[in-house]
Chain A
């Protein structure tokens, strides 16, 4: 009622178009896949093994991450020390870390010639194996333990400080507090955190590509890739893609019942005052936990720098060309992601519909490889799909970063409308004027953050590009993967460092751009 009808329909129209595009990319490509899958032979032994492996590694990775995150999160929640906020910030870093870079770092630490294996050898033990099942789970825990820790920490800090004060005044011990305050909180936080990580491990492709493989460590996504690239069996790839989608959709349906937490909460840099946890044993325990977690997180990243810096001077030119290509893809992805996210967010806020946002978030369960397979099947009859490698990579990555952009934009826009909607209505600011004068300037922070995330995610992506890329136009992550596969470790070290720096830099530039001169 409040606004001109035309402005409302315009918002809904733009939102509907953006949402239709997202649905077309997720469900439309799936239809193409389904049609194609009919021509496939049955689901073979190897395919069952892939399904089993996918589920087992995702379950174990998510369980390990969450179980370890609880004591680490508690340690962060109840201790104050110099550098704490830096460490908490660092917990967010793996999210924008290119998977293939992290894999390189993990190999440097845990690989056959890595420092951990060397130490084990020196002590007379067998070195651990970074490839296969262990490696995949290790890498997934590396990526998701920090995320789980942030989620758990958020839960802890969401307990009002007054409760802890009350508990202290009643003389509660750590055990009482755990029973009355902490376990009820964990019962709410842990299932959501587990599901998010399970979902991420379900659709994580690059880890399996780099560390998995073979009959005992192939995920469905990897099997799609192999059917595609090695056997060029489109029917089989399509069938596997269908299975992957059903898996993702099933988990997404369960996730709808459980409140999914968002990992980007701010305000994690405060610690809760605790009176029950001052015993030397507990302090030593927390200190050890924080130190180990930090080491686990920082060591691989440090190794990238240590190995990479000497290699920088002798980088092959192909790395520079690939870097430029990746930057181009990242920028295109940012533009696409924001152009999709803004209309959807506007529609979600205006219509007050959770459904709009939910559909926009659908892609969190979608697999880039499934979308890629579908796009390939669609493009193949009319054009050379490999010629579209870069645009498709930009587009698919834009869609994959959409859930995160919506998570940031929808609440922010909702707040803007709650605070200033009436004022803008009263002044007759609608359509373009409202967008330009109210939304854009007030959305700068979440927009900068979303753009930075989209840029970093697509900069480091090694998913759909692996399906599509022709030999002569690799992006930087693909080039790095090729160097790794060819055991050109020095060049790989240099490329890994360049990719790491580029990913962090693009995130920083956008995120920073949203912060400077932003009025409160």
Chain B
């Protein structure tokens, strides 16, 4: 169980509060108007943004731990890959951050690239990959890191609708397979309907407790109604 106890972020004029729990293995969409604090919530969870209160995972307090020490993998909006490293090296960072890979490690990297459908593209640098392929490389690394929580910050914002749909399906399948808990920021209600079990609504400086997706869209609270525009 992922639990946020009185989490409070103060960005000087902008504040975000959250007290909520997410069951393990759930796929959760984080929705809300832009500027409401969706990405801030994710950054605080990932350890990139200082916050007061507590973040607990299976009873362990994560507060004060560095991003790499947390049981979390984050896929950002952009800059998920280092442009000067090959796809394989970028994935390899998920095994060892100093890239001193053994033969076995290299084999695992290849396997992960195969798994996301990029067999043979390991030696390419990001500039020689398409947007969809870049997203897959980031996913391959997330697979290898094998953390129980995956945070996605609008990772497919730059992809076209078809590719975006494909990647969402792919992520949902991976999460089902590994049992990972998924939290995904999106400004697209369709994304939530597509893969999310629950929705966390972020509005007016508060991240609300997760509500099952079908329920929240059937009876949207006022903040969500305003955001959706009906």
Q: How far is the CA of A426 from the CA of B145 in the complex (A)?
A: 11
Q: Does B94 count as interface, using CB distance less than 8 angstroms? A: yes
A420 at the interface (CB under 8 A from B): yes
Contact A426 B79 (CB under 8 A): no
Q: Bound complex: CA of A438 vs CA of B81, how far in Å?
A: 11
Q: How far is the CA of A3 from the CA of B145 in the complex (A)?
A: 18
Query: Using an 8 Å CB-CB cutoff, how does the interface string of B78-120 with A read, 1 for contact, 0 for none?
Result: 0110111100000001100111000000000000000000000
Distance of A4 Cα from B72 Cα, bound (Å): 16
Indicate which residue in B50, B73, B93, B127 contacts A1 across the interface (CB closer than 8 Å): B50
Complex interface: stretch among A142-150, A429-437, A500-508: A429-437
Instruction: Check if A519 sits within 8 Å of B46, measured CB to CB.
Output: no
Q: Restricting to B24-77, which residues have a CB under 8 Å from any CB of A?
A: 46-48, 50, 64, 66-69, 72-74, 76
User: B125 at interface (Cβ–Cβ under 8 A)?
Assistant: yes
Docked Cα-Cα span, A338 to B94, in Å, equals: 31
Judge whether A387 is part of the interface by a CB distance below 8 angstroms.
Answer: no
Closest residue on chain B to residue A517 by CB atoms: B84
**Could you name 6 residue pairs across A and B whose Cβ atoms are closer than 8 Å?**
A4-B66, A422-B67, A427-B68, A428-B68, A430-B97, A518-B84
The A interface is mostly helix, strand or loop, or mixed, namely helix
Q: Which of A420, A433, A442, A520 contacts B97 (CB 8 A)?
A: A433
Question: If the complex has contacts A420-B82, A437-B85, are A519 and B93 also in contact, measured as CB distance less than 8 A?
Answer: no
Distance in angstroms between the alpha carbons of A519 and B84 in the assembled complex:
6
A1 CA / B50 CA spacing, docked (Å)? 7
CB <8 Å contact, B98 and A429 = yes
Complex: chain A residue closest to B96, CB-CB = A433
Q: Are B68 and A420 in contact (CB under 8 A)?
A: no
Contact B127 A437 (CB under 8 A): no
Is A384 interfacial (CB-CB < 8 Å)? Answer: no
Establish whether residues B98 and A423, one from each chain, have CB atoms under 8 Å apart when the complex forms: no
* B127 and A520 form a contact (CB under 8 A): yes
Q: Which residues of A contact B125 (CB under 8 A)?
A: 519
Query: Cα distance A2–B43 when bound, in Å?
Result: 11
- From A421, which residue of chain B is reached at the shortest CB distance? B48
The reply to whether B79 and A419 form a contact with Cβ atoms under 8 Å apart is yes
A427 touches B93 (CB 8 A): yes
Bound Cα distance from A53 to B85, whole angstroms: 56
Majority secondary structure, B binding face: loop
Report yes or no: A428 in contact with B97, Cβ–Cβ below 8 A.
Answer: yes
Q: How far is the CA of A422 from the CA of B98 in the complex (A)?
A: 16
User: Does A316 have its Cβ within 8 Å of any Cβ on chain B?
Assistant: no
Question: Could you tell me if B48 and A2 are in contact, using CB atoms closer than 8 angstroms?
Answer: yes
- Find chain B residues with CB under 8 A from A520 CB: 83, 127
Which B residues lie at the A interface, using CB under 8 A? 46-48, 50, 64, 66-69, 72-74, 76, 79-80, 82-85, 93-94, 97-99, 125, 127, 145
Known: A1-B47, A425-B68, A427-B93. A437 touches B98 (CB 8 A): yes
Q: How many residues of A contact B (CB 8 A)?
A: 25
Contact of A420 among B46, B66, B79, B127 (CB under 8 A): B79
**A442–B84 contact, CB under 8 A?**
yes
With a cutoff of 8 Å between Cβ atoms, the chain A residues found around residue B50 in the complex are 1
CB proximity of A263 to chain B, nearest CB, Å: 28
At the interface, yes or no: A13 with Cβ under 8 Å from chain B?
no
Name the A residues within 8 Å of B80 (CB-CB): 423
- Chain A residues near B48 (CB-CB < 8 A): 2, 422, 425-426
Q: What is the bound-complex CA distance between A422 and B83, given in angstroms?
A: 15
Q: Which of A3, A419, A425, A427 has the most CB of B within 10 A?
A: A427
> A425 vs B65: C-alpha distance in the bound complex, in angstroms?
11
A441 at the B interface (CB under 8 A) = yes
Residue of A nearest to B147 (CB): A426
Q: In angstroms, how far is the closest chain B Cβ from the Cβ of A398? A: 27
| Contact of B83 (CB < 8 Å), options: A424, A432, A519 | A519
A2-B66, A429-B98 given; A423·B82 CB < 8 A: yes
CB distance from A446 to the nearest CB of B (A): 14
Q: Which 9 A-B pairs give the minimum distances between C-beta atoms?
A: A428-B68, A433-B98, A441-B84, A429-B97, A428-B97, A425-B67, A519-B84, A426-B67, A519-B83
Q: Is the CB of A426 within 8 A of B46?
A: yes
A425 to B83, CA, bound (A): 17
Give the distance in Å from the alpha carbon of A518 to the alpha carbon of B83 in the complex.
10
A300 to B68, CA, bound (A): 59
> A517 to nearest B CB, angstroms?
9
A433-475 interface mask toward B, CB cutoff 8 Å, 1 = contact, 0 = none? Answer: 1001110011000000000000000000000000000000000
